[in-house]
């Protein structure tokens, strides 16, 4: 890790309609929470609950484990953050193009209309309005950890 001031924690034991991406500021003790999508391969029935993790290319599933946030780049969804998988369970993050990016399907209006968020192809997708928080507070060499953590 290049920076240890803020860490990101994703609790996929929670459903997609709850804020389950948390940025913990280790310097001032604050936590900010956000909506985040999981992959369609992790929730084939689109229940809003992550059912399984996968590191397999083509699975369109979310992978668990520790990630190093890397540089920004311009991609399909605009400015995005590359992720480097640090565990066996997410070692294919770079080849699979698993990143953090903004997406229209991660928005409170989706929850109002459908009761859940849309799904990514395994990426950590955030709402367009919240994504700048990720750019400024979690990118550039910080830790992002994802797993089933709390009771779901």
Domains: count for the chain: 1
In contact, 68 and 84? CB cutoff 8 Å: yes
Structure tokens at 95: 């080849």
**Within a domain: residue 107?**
yes
Name the H helices within the chain.
93-96, 108-114, 131-137
Indicate which CATH number applies to the domain containing 61: 2.40.440.10
pLDDT tens track, the chain, 152 positions? 889 999 999 999 999 999 999 999 999 999 999 999 999 999 999 999 999 999 999 999 999 999 999 999 999 999 999 999 999 999 999 999 999 999 999 999 999 999 999 999 999 999 999 999 999 999 999 999 999 998 64
**Within a domain: residue 46?**
yes
Q: How many residues make up the chain in this entry?
A: 152
In contact, 142 and 70? CB cutoff 8 Å: no
pLDDT of residue 151: 67
**Within a domain: residue 1?**
no
Please indicate, yes or no, whether the overall pTM of this predicted structure exceeds 0.85.
yes
pLDDT of residue 1: 80
Structure tokens at 24: 């913990």
Q: Is 45 helix (H, G, I), strand (E, B) or coil?
A: coil
**Within a domain: residue 69?**
yes
- Cβ burial, residue 68 (10 Å; 0-12/13-18/19+): middle
Q: Could you tell me where the beta strands, DSSP code E, fall in 21-93?
A: 21-25, 31-34, 65-75, 78-85
**Within a domain: residue 152?**
no
Structure tokens at 2: 């290049």
Domain extent, residue 110, equals: 6-147
Distance CA 101, CA 95 (A): 16
């Amino acid at each position: 890790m290049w920076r240890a001031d803020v860490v990101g924690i994703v609790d996929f034991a929670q459903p997609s309609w709850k804020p389950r991406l948390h940025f913990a500021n280790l310097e001032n003790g604050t936590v900010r929470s956000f909506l985040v999508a999981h992959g369609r391969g992790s929730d084939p029935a689109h229940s809003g609950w992550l059912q399984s993790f996968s590191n397999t290319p083509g699975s369109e599933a979310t992978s668990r484990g520790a990630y190093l946030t890397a540089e920004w780049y311009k991609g399909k969804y605009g400015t995005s953050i590359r992720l480097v998988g640090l565990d066996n369970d997410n070692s294919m993050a770079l080849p699979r193009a698993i990143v953090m990016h903004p997406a229209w399907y991660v928005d409170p209006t989706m929850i109002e209309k459908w009761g859940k968020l849309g799904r990514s192809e395994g990426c950590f997708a955030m709402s367009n309005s919240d994504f700048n928080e990720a750019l400024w507070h979690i990118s550039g060499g910080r830790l992002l950890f994802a797993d089933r953590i709390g009771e779901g």
